[in-house]
Amino acid sequence: MEPNLGTIVRSISIGPNREETGLESLQFREEIHRLMTVPPENGSSFTELLQLPETQAMELLHSAHSDEVVPVPLSGEPLHGINDDHKSYLPSFNGNLTFPSNKVLIERAAKFSVFASGEHSPETSSVPSDSSANLEKVKSEPAETDSNPNSSQLLVSDPAVNIKNQRSEKRKEREKKGKGCTKKSKIEISQDAEKLPYVHVRARRGQATDSHSLAERARREKINARMKLLQELVPGCSKTFAMQISGTALVLDEIINHVQSLQRQVELLSMRLATVNPRVDFNLDSLFAPESGSLADSNFHSMVSPLLWPEIPFNGNRQQHQQQWNFDALHRPLWGREEDNHTFITMENSLLNYESANSASLHSNQLKMEL
């Protein structure tokens, strides 16, 4: 982190570049005024930066740095007119997009190159490892950059929206950085603050940079991290490629469908179990009565007993039957039978062992023993 910061500061402090950044900061301001709805922020954004605790100020500067290190695939179009229509950037961006996470960073870096074409050539060493290191340290950033695509990538014009978002973000940070270059001491102080552990949050354009919105930003990133987890959990959703395209709304769709289907299945299965059971009770008593005399006081008539008995001695022939009979035997005690809990539980354990495919004879023996 430090070397990046140092190089950036150095590059900024170069004479002609300083004027450039001054010009750009002016342009930034105009742009911000024109595009966003929070005017008081723009002129005084750096003063807000000053009011922020050092850590947060460093975050904002920090986030600017990590982008600068990202490789710039674009041969910077010499468009310093930030007031230009942003659509003109789109074709070039679309041509150079790479998936998945570098896309956003590359867009940002592309913006950077556009705004100050000469400035970043020393920094635009293609160091993806470095950027990834940045990403690790500033771990909220990629989540946030992904949050941009996630939240807004539903329509075809989404790349435009993303680019717009990040461009605006970048501009704002650059403006702050531009103003910060005149105060080197501030940056040095921020350098020290950089080492402290804290949550990196990027201040979004158009939102106040007070702690409230920053907390909300951190929250957003947490949400997106968990959305990714959910995506992995829900089947059919976990392609990394799809994560770029699907966006938050589609992932939520999948999740909702999954939860609904699971709930419906539970309903159906409980209905099935409810209808099945009347015969189960009888079978239970008939099953257990011969095995242990203590179960003779059954509440139900022993019907259908001859049905089940033939199955019990089968060991090799119909293994599956027997195993499922073990299931059944476990289930049956519920319907009107008072049994000791501990035998129950051991039976349940054996049942679940079955589920992990153990031998059938073992279970039948266990069952008989436990009874």
Binding-site member from 330, 350, 360, 366 for other proteins (CB under 8 A) = 330
Considering the rule CB under 8 A, would residue 303 count as an interface residue with other proteins? no
Instruction: Please report how close the Cβ of residue 299 comes to other proteins at its closest, in angstroms.
Output: 7
Distance CA 17, CA 19 (A): 5
Instruction: Please report how close the Cβ of residue 105 comes to other proteins at its closest, in angstroms.
Output: 20
Classify residue 196 by its DSSP letter: S
Q: How far, in Å, are 43, 189, 217, 296, 370 from residue 192 at the CA level?
A: 27, 5, 24, 81, 68
253 half-sphere exposure, CB direction, 13 A CA radius? 8
Burial 351-360 (b: 16+ CB within 10 A, else e): beebeeeeeb
Site for other proteins in 229-248 (CB under 8 A): 229-230, 233-234, 247-248
Contact status, residue 71 vs residue 106, Cβ threshold 8 Å? yes
**Near other proteins by CB under 8 A, which window of 105-113, 129-137, 157-165, 288-296?**
157-165
Contact pattern from residue 88 through residue 127 relative to other proteins, giving x for each residue in contact according to CB under 8 A and a dash for the rest? ----------------------------------------
Contact status, residue 296 vs residue 289, Cβ threshold 8 Å? yes
Binding-site member from 14, 344, 361, 371 for other proteins (CB under 8 A) = 344
Angle between helical axes of 158-181 and 54-69 (0-180°, round to 10) = 120
Considering the rule CB under 8 A, would residue 164 count as an interface residue with other proteins? yes
Binding-site member from 88, 157, 315, 317 for other proteins (CB under 8 A) = 157
Of residues 2 and 216, the one with the C-beta less far from other proteins: 216
Binding-site member from 263, 292, 317, 365 for other proteins (CB under 8 A) = 263
Binding-site member from 321, 359, 361, 362 for other proteins (CB under 8 A) = 321
Instruction: Please report how close the Cβ of residue 151 comes to other proteins at its closest, in angstroms.
Output: 6
Instruction: Please report how close the Cβ of residue 34 comes to other proteins at its closest, in angstroms.
Output: 7
Q: How far, in Å, are 85, 107, 145, 172, 253 from residue 81 at the CA level?
A: 9, 17, 25, 15, 41
Contact status, residue 180 vs residue 46, Cβ threshold 8 Å? yes
Classify residue 282 by its DSSP letter: H
Binding-site member from 334, 365, 368, 369 for other proteins (CB under 8 A) = 334
Instruction: Please report how close the Cβ of residue 267 comes to other proteins at its closest, in angstroms.
Output: 7
Site for other proteins in 196-225 (CB under 8 A): 219, 222-223
The letter for the amino acid at 123 is: E
Binding-site member from 227, 237, 295, 367 for other proteins (CB under 8 A) = 227
